[in-house]
Structure 1
């Protein structure tokens, strides 16, 4: 009797573990931004890193592409783009929130020349 009960509980635990593993499957999205410099990189990576479900965010300044690893059960591509836009930067075809963009340092605004800092 104990063996049967233990077997049933073990099978149940394994099923729950397998279901949990598929929920946490990681996805990656790449988003073209209007970022210019290291300050932009830091700001975007920090804000995305604080977003629910985002596991990792990395901006390549040469290509201006933000690579984001995330948990699709907690966030999605639209929410990631919305965070970028609300931070003051373009996200693919979405234009930056004007108020957020205007609050960026002058060197980080779209009209600024590319620079290294």
Structure 2
């Protein structure tokens, strides 16, 4: 009985997660491409991870060489302006929207926009 009680919360979480995925699966997504100030693979990890926590974002992939972030999102849950704002709050420029200064100052030196694009 003790084992059943410890498994029950995990089982319920899994069921609700799958139900949420099933609801989103039938809905169409839109895609946006955002020019960022990212310069390296650390930037890539930072931006993609932050986008994973954004409501309504299905996927986010940053191409470091072109500095373009491609985001697939559910338009009934978010919009391009909210996504750009989320990128700026991570410390990076998003199209013409400048990075949040406080977040930018917290970035590693290799991620500063005055650096050239590099793969390190």
| Fold in common (TM above 0.5) | yes
Structure 2 spans left out of the alignment, 5+ residues: 1-22
Which residue of structure 2 aligns with residue 78 of structure 1?
81
Structure 1 spans left out of the alignment, 5+ residues: 1-19
Q: Secondary structure at the match of 2:33?
A: strand
Q: How many residues align?
A: 97
**Using the alignment, how far apart are the partners of 1:113 and 1:28 within structure 2?**
27
**Using the alignment, how far apart are the partners of 1:56 and 1:113 within structure 2?**
26
CA contact (8 A) 2:33 2:68 kept: yes
Deviation at 1:83, TM superposition (A): 0.5
Which residue of structure 2 aligns with residue 103 of structure 1?
106
Q: TM-score normalised to the size of structure 2? A: 0.76
**Using the alignment, how far apart are the partners of 2:102 and 2:115 within structure 1?**
17
**Using the alignment, how far apart are the partners of 1:93 and 1:82 within structure 2?**
11
Cα RMSD, aligned residues only: 1.5
Q: TM-score normalised to the size of structure 1? A: 0.78
Which one has a bigger Cα radius of gyration?
Answer: 1
**Using the alignment, how far apart are the partners of 1:114 and 1:76 within structure 2?**
28
